[in-house]
Structure 1
Amino acid sequence: MDVFEEYLAKIDDADHRERVIEVLDWVHEIFPKLDTRVAWNQPMFTDHGTFIIGFSVVQKHMSIAPEGLTMEQFSKDFEQNDYSFGKKMFRIQFDQEVNYDLLKRIIEFNIEDKKDCTSFWRN
């Protein structure tokens, strides 16, 4: 997880930084075979060279980007958890709980759906 250190050091709010570390550590622990990297100024996890999920931090929330198809697949879950969302990402406010079960299902979906993908993004 050293690859994320420089990114994490730029998060000024210590509580927000700890929350992001907690989430990234959780992903790494649950999905140890995923590769880690920082691209487009965001920590991300990949599998066999294809994008699985990315994270970024804004002042009041953490954005989680699993790609558009996955956003469509889980839109009702985002609504049920009161997470705001767009076409390619959803937001978890720093005062909201992280639904780790949902996050796990999103990552599992992307790993399975992209198992034969040969490009970084879905075509």
Structure 2
Amino acid sequence: MDVFVDFLSRIDNPEHKARTEEVLTWVAEKFPNLVPIIAWKQPMFTDHGTFIIGFSVSKQHLAVAPEKAGMIHCAADIAQAGYDHTKELVRMPWNRPVEFSLLEKMISFNLHDKADCSTFWRK
């Protein structure tokens, strides 16, 4: 997880930093075969050179990006969790617990769906 140290050090709010570190650590421990990287100045996890999930930080939330296909696959779970979202990302507010089961579903879907993908992004 050394790859995320510089990213985490730039998060000013200690609570946001701790939550982000918790989520990134959880992903790394739950899916130890994923490769943690920084791309486009954001923390991401890849598998065999293909994007699996990415994160970004704002004042109001931690954004989780599983690509559009992951959003579509998990639409009902996202709605049930009550998270605000766009076509490409889920906004997990700082003042609510993280739905780790939703993260696990997104990541597992992308691992399975992109098992034979040879590009970083889906085409």
Range of TM-score over shorter length? over 0.9
Instruction: State, as a whole percentage, how many aligned pairs show the same letter.
Output: 48
Q: How does 1:67-86 map to 2 (within 5 A)?
A: 67-86=67-86
Q: How does 1:104-115 map to 2 (within 5 A)?
A: 104-115=104-115
Query: What's 2:87 paired with?
Result: 87
Query: What's 1:36 paired with?
Result: 36
Structure 1 residue 58, shift from structure 2 partner: 0.3
| Alignment TM-score, normalising by the size of structure 1 | 0.98
Query: What's 1:6 paired with?
Result: 6
| Alpha-carbon distance in structure 2 between the residues aligned to 1:115 and 1:33 | 13
| CA-to-aligned-CA distance 1:34-71 (integer Å, 9 cap, x gap) | 00100011100000000000000001100000000110
| Alpha-carbon distance in structure 1 between the residues aligned to 2:71 and 2:58 | 19
Of 44-53 and 93-102, the range deviating more from structure 2: 93-102
| Alpha-carbon distance in structure 2 between the residues aligned to 1:55 and 1:70 | 14
Structure 1 residue 92, shift from structure 2 partner: 0.2
Query: What's 2:45 paired with?
Result: 45
Structure 1 residue 108, shift from structure 2 partner: 0.5
| Alpha-carbon distance in structure 2 between the residues aligned to 1:85 and 1:76 | 12
Structure 1 residue 116, shift from structure 2 partner: 0.2
Q: Which ranges of structure 2 fall in alignment gaps of 5 or more residues?
A: none
> CA RMSD, aligned part only?
0.6
Query: What's 1:102 paired with?
Result: 102
| Alpha-carbon distance in structure 2 between the residues aligned to 1:119 and 1:64 | 20
Q: Any runs of at least 4 consecutive aligned residues in structure 1 with deviations exceeding 6 A, and if so which? A: none
Q: Which ranges of structure 1 fall in alignment gaps of 5 or more residues?
A: none
- Secondary structure of the residue that 1:78 maps to in structure 2? helix
Structure 1 residue 76, shift from structure 2 partner: 1.4
